[in-house]
Amino acid sequence: MQRQFFMLWIPVGLIAGGLGAFVMRTRGFGLVADIALGLAGSFMGSVLFLAFGSPADEGWITLCIGTFLGAASVILGQRWWYAHA
């Protein structure tokens, strides 16, 4: 994995986790768990971003979109699982 992905998925994951905790504060496991889920999802999003053949030299905006979508999907998946379990 390239260095710019690593430098990007950490802050985007932290921001996505914090926003997920703020927006959906009635459900979930709390701020720390949401930030951890955001980091994990951001990492998964960046790995999938590379796996589907997106070149790393497209720019940081496309990298932010990929990592944010990964983080948001993991947080939403956790919320769905928690609501239906």
Condensed to tens digits (0 to 9), the pLDDT of residues 30-63 reads 778 878 888 888 888 877 877 877 666 666 777 7
pLDDT at 74 exceeding the cut of 80:
yes
10 assigned to some structural domain: no
3 assigned to some structural domain: no
64 assigned to some structural domain: yes
45 assigned to some structural domain: yes
Domain span at residue 75 reads 21-80
> How high is the pLDDT of residue 1?
52
Full DSSP string of 14-27: HHHHHHHHHHTTTS
Average pLDDT, whole number, for the chain?
Answer: 75
* Percentage, residues of the chain above pLDDT 90: 0
Query: Angle between the 60-84 and 3-23 helix axes, to the nearest 10 degrees?
Result: 40
Range with lowest mean pLDDT among 12-26, 31-45, 69-83:
12-26
The count of domains in the chain is 1
Model confidence, pTM: 0.73
Q: How far is CA 41 from the centre of its chain?
A: 4
41 assigned to some structural domain: yes
4 closest CA partner among 72, 70, 74, 61? 61
